[in-house]
Amino acid sequence: MLKLLFTRRFMPLFMTQFLGAFNDNFFKSALIMLITYKIGDAAGIDSRILVNAAAGVFILPFFLFASPASDLADKFDRSRLMRWVKFAEIIIMIGAAVGFYLNSLDYKFLATWFLLSVLFLMGAQSAFFSPAKYSILPQHLYPDEIIAGNGLIQMGTYLAILSGTIAGGLLVLRSVVITGNLVVLIALLGWLSSLLIPDTKPINPNLKLDFKIKSVVNKTINLWHEVTPMREVFLSMLSISWFWLVGAVFLAQFPTYSKLVLNADESVATSFLAIFSLGIGLGSMTCDAVLKGKITTRYVPASAYGIAISSVILYFVSGKPASVDGNNIINAWQFFSNINNLIIPLCLFAIAFFGGLYIVPLYAVMQTKAPESKVSGVIACSNISDSLLMALSAVAASVLISLNFEIAQIFLITGLLTFIIGVLINLKLKI
């Protein structure tokens, strides 16, 4: 599996994806921390509203640009398209640097809306990059390498999410100017790595582009109509979206779970993020060893059951650990030094590990079972579905919390629903 990292067919794509995911999360984390601790109050705006607005601003482009992104990925050489998108990221990140500089000059209100606009553009470039990124894999990899390639991409993505989120949150409160310079540098490195991605042949070079609003809306609807009859692909797409819903539930609740349930500080929440990202990465890498390169969903239901059982166990073991003096909030060292607490991170690791085993074969099915001319459209639809379910997870969690459900109970509900999803996959998706 790791030998792919030393090939020209894969390594440049892996690095481009890693740097892009790192920069996305580095910038998002920096902006959220800035809003929470610096910008919000100074600009006279509720920071909680701004943080939720930021999440929506980043997801919105995946709805708006699904159809254009799919068309561009089919009309042009996908490696060339990725270079264009990565070059656009440099320009966008120069805008981010300007926004951070405005904040350093105490133009808080202007900086807030300027940086939110940049976040929207970052979401847009990610929306255009995604169909090209996933649909190019079958063009560069042999059939028995698809599982390994997807596993490495998922591993790299989650490690990038982890490192980018932590680095952005830590650095921006120390120096917004350095943060601004760094996002530009990372974007530049991402563009340089994209130059090394081998060229491919356009799938449909004669495709007519039409970016009028009405045409885009109609094309997006048509994409769904085209994907729905592809039973295996459509079911895989929905199953992937469920994984993103589950991941969004856990990642969003880590801070409040640590504080309100475990009586622990932010270092414990950060540790949970690290454990979760590591678990998905290792699960993704293990997938190739388990499947031996064969594209099959045989173990996807079992992986869903693993997520479900681990979530149920997490519910039963969740409780306030004893702090050193029985009163103070505990830190990561105090939490992990108590052997009785270790079952909680083990459950989180298991959930993530099974998640990695769950998602990799489903991506491979989408890429290989759809006709070559439809792969980018399938990925675009998958992005829409993922975004919808992640938004649904936020709404559902908010409703449950307003109804006085505890966070551990939300984990339990998520686990039980995932068990049902596993049963449905076992009955409906057999590849």
DSSP per-residue string spanning 148-171? HHHHHHHHHHHHHHHHHHHHHHHH
Backbone angles phi, psi at 219, to 5 degrees: -65, -40
Q: What angle do CA 244, 245, 251 make, to 5 degrees?
A: 85
Report residue 401: phi and psi, to 5°.
Answer: -65, -40
List, in order of start, the domains of the chain with CATH numbers.
Answer: 1-209 (1.20.1250.20), 213-431 (1.20.1250.20)
Cα separation, 100 vs 105, whole angstroms: 9
Upper half-sphere CA count for residue 360 (Cβ side, 13 Å): 38
Helices assigned H by DSSP within 105-230: 108-140, 146-172, 176-194, 213-227
CA distance 70 to 380: 6
Q: Divide the 431 residues of the chain into consecutive groups of 10 and give the mean pLDDT of each group.
A: 83 94 91 72 59 76 86 90 95 93 78 88 91 86 86 88 86 86 96 94 85 81 85 91 90 80 81 88 87 86 96 87 58 86 93 93 88 84 87 83 87 95 86 72
Torsion of CA 153, 158, 159, 160, to 10 degrees: 90
Q: Residue 249: how many CB atoms within 10 A of its CB?
A: 23
Quote the pLDDT of residue 420.
Answer: 95
DSSP output for 246-297 = HHHHHHHHHHHIIIIIS-B-HHHHHHHHHHHHHHHHHHHHHHHHHHTT----
**Contacts with 76 (C-beta within 8 Å, 6 or more apart), sequence order:** 202, 205
The predicted pLDDT at position 324 comes to 46
